[in-house]
Amino acid sequence: MNPVKGTPIFTAERTKDLHELMMNTCTKFAEADAFIFRRSPKLSEVHRTFFEFGEDIRNLATYLLNSDYSMGRMAVVGENAYEWFVSYNAILSSGAVGVPLDRALPEDELIQLLVRSRSRIIFYHAKHHKMMLSIARKIKSGEIDVALEKFVIFYKPSLTGKTPDDTWPEDDDSFVDIYDLIAEGKALREKGDTKFDEVEIDPEEAKIILFTSGTTSMSKGVLLSHKNICSNVYAIAQTLDVRKGDRAFSILPLHHTFENTCDFFILSCGACICMCDGLRYIVKNMEEWKPSVCISVPLLFENIYSKIEDGIKASGKEKIIAVARPVTRFLRKIGIDVRRNVFKEILDKLGGNFRMIVIGGAGIDKRYIDAFTDFGLQFFMGYGLTETAPVISVNTEVCDVHGSVGRPMAGITATIDVEGKSSPKNVGEILTKSDCVMLGYYENEEATAEAIDADGWFHTGDMGYIDKTGSIHITGRVKSMIVLTNGKKAFPEEIEAVLGEIKGVSEVFVWGNRNEREAIDICAKLLIDRKAIGAELGLATEPDDSQVEAYLNDKVHDANHTMPAYKIVRNYVFSEEEMIKTTTLKIKRPKEQEHIESRLAECSRTMVEMNGKNFDKMIKA
């Protein structure tokens, strides 16, 4: 199988558990800012130093260690907030089991996960207060059987009290403010309590339950240990250059392990986490907080690039930029790098200090990577899964192969499971082995045995190959692979990347559709930007559906000519409605396909009949 094992680029310090990691970090960088955030976009910013962060963790953990819930299971749910970090770190540093939950879950699904995890305490954001009141009422009435005994709000002053659902339940002592618990823990420490300093944590024991996306009855609970997370932080620290004093822009939901583990890494470097005020404030936050690094998903920087592009067009500097990019590229080849001076105006829109962006979670069009690289940024693709805590590989300044997701990080081994002799571009399932690989799936031995084989290899479910540099290339998901009638296999992700090159197409979903002859047709749904298509057509107004159809027919025809015959798109529809996504902005493939197929059935239409048409305006035949 020709395994490839990563090697370190930088030196880093290894820690045995998250208690040691965070306490060492908070002591080492005590006076520096650890967080900058706002309680709401209209309020002034709040700063928290590493010392303050460390004290809040110690005090809350001390309370937990002296409570009836010590070492038990504790859930965290809600918007990104300073208190999210405090509560989660206090849970883990006290040796308890942390259960981070998706903030976008509806109440019934959240209840199912609380039941499954048997959590006794939940820490929550004020935006979840109404839901917590409802859950508390249902527990008291006996409508639901949930182990929850305490509801801890992140920041009680966030409640307005304008409605019953936004009012603090003074008569219910199961509801408390996190800062009251922090104060109780502080009082215990002042009286000489040393439980926090003496706590013993088995780094190899399951201490985190992370539920994957999907319906709650089917979602898998990934069991991670302190060793898993600390090993991944150690590997990232040997791979990426984040420094003391850096500012990291944080936008992904904290329950997601990509953001979660990377934030442990960022803090361990002495960098400050700047929490975004919301999607509408991204550019504003960047301009005022001047971040230097960001770890995010493709859609964020695709949207940022669109705004940059609009700004360039509005300034009338399109031709200047178009000439400057290849010139600065050539100068770099001969050792002269003037990118940050030439494109200073563009970089200033991102705060002026950005130097490194790491993208994960999904692929991104090469043109975005090229553009940000040309502007003077290090723009790297990474790869990983919740089950691998999560990062497996990432591009670096040492090895940056376009189209790949980089070499495995230090201490991580990857290989391709193919039939026959392994060689470059032999496509098969990507396997990995390291201390980062999960312990298994929560209460699901069968799924664990399917995912981790007898030799310890974790089967990622992703298809790909490893090139001569040792870089991993992803071609698609095993589960999303389209098997055609003639036995040929096509990966939607590859076709989506080709169609995504069409200007005016912002997102693509490809699936295998069974036609009336019981054969499989490759079909696509294109999310369009009507204004952008109008600009491509040179129109002063937005194009109507017939003009959009004529434009897309030509572009899809051209795209088909770049692919093997068995991969061509037989039928497509276009839409202006957002596709069904996870909280990390990845398309939920089964849900999106189900939505399309049910809508077609409801309107008694087929993809052949709808080819080239506006999906949003489909009516019953």
**Cα–Cα separations (whole angstroms), residue 177 to 60, 126, 139, 344:** 11, 10, 20, 46
% of residues, the chain, pLDDT over 70: 97
Question: Quick one: pLDDT at residue 586?
Answer: 80
Q: What pLDDT score was predicted for residue 304?
A: 86
pLDDT average, residue stretch 282-310: 88
Closest Cα partner for 267 from 290, 293, 287?
A: 293
Residue 516 is predicted with a pLDDT of 81
For the chain, the 3-state helix, strand and coil shares in percent, each to the nearest 5, are 40, 20, 40
Query: Residue 472 — pLDDT band, cuts 50, 70, 90?
Result: very high
User: Please, which pLDDT band fits residue 215 given cuts at 50, 70 and 90?
Assistant: very low
Section 104-127 average pLDDT: 95
Q: What is the mean pLDDT of the chain?
A: 93
Q: How far apart, in whole angstroms, are the C-alpha atoms of residue 335 and residue 142? A: 71
Q: Residue 424: pLDDT above 80?
A: no
DSSP result, 240-261: S---TT-EEEE-S-TTSHHHHH
Percent of the chain with pLDDT over 90: 79
18-28+45-200 shares its CATH topology with 292-477? yes
Count of Cβ atoms closer than 10 Å to residue 421 Cβ? 8
pLDDT of residue 360: 87
CA pair distance 229, 387, nearest whole angstrom:
11
Average pLDDT (474-487) is: 82
**Which architecture does CATH list for 292-477?**
3-Layer(aba) Sandwich (3.40)
Q: Would you place residue 404 in the very low, low, confident or very high pLDDT band (cuts 50, 70, 90)?
A: very high
Cα–Cα distances in Å, from 18 out to 225, 277, 305, 570? 10, 27, 36, 52
- Residue 420: per-residue pLDDT: 46
CA distance 355 to 246: 10
Return d(Cα 496, Cα 592) in angstroms, integer.
14
The whole-number pLDDT of residue 419 equals 64
Q: What is the CATH number of domain 18-28+45-200?
A: 3.40.50.980
Torsion of CA 225, 228, 233, 235, to 10 degrees: 170
pLDDT of residue 444: 94
Looking at residue 427, what is its pLDDT? 86
365: confidence class by pLDDT, cuts 50, 70, 90: confident
95 has a pLDDT exceeding 90? yes
Whether CATH 3.30.300.30 fits 482-617: yes
Predicted local distance difference test score (pLDDT) of residue 216: 45
Taking the model in full, what pTM does it have? 0.85
Q: What is the pLDDT of residues 156-178, one digit of tens each?
A: 999 988 898 899 999 999 999 99
- What do you get for the CA distance between the two ends of the chain, in Å? 53
Distance CA 102, CA 583 (A): 8
Mean pLDDT of 78-102: 97
Q: Per-residue pLDDT for 227 more than 50?
A: yes
Domain ranges of the chain: 18-28+45-200, 292-477, 482-617
Where does residue 71 fall: left (phi above 0), alpha (psi -120 to 50 degrees), or beta otherwise? left
pLDDT of residue 1: 65
- The tens digit of pLDDT for each residue in 549-582 reads 999 999 999 999 999 888 999 999 999 999 998 8
Q: Give the per-residue pLDDT at 310.
A: 84
Residue 536 confidence (pLDDT) above 90: yes
pLDDT confidence tier of residue 422, bands split at 50, 70 and 90: very low
pLDDT category, 213, cuts 50, 70, 90? low
Q: How confident is the model at residue 124 (pLDDT cuts 50, 70, 90)?
A: very high
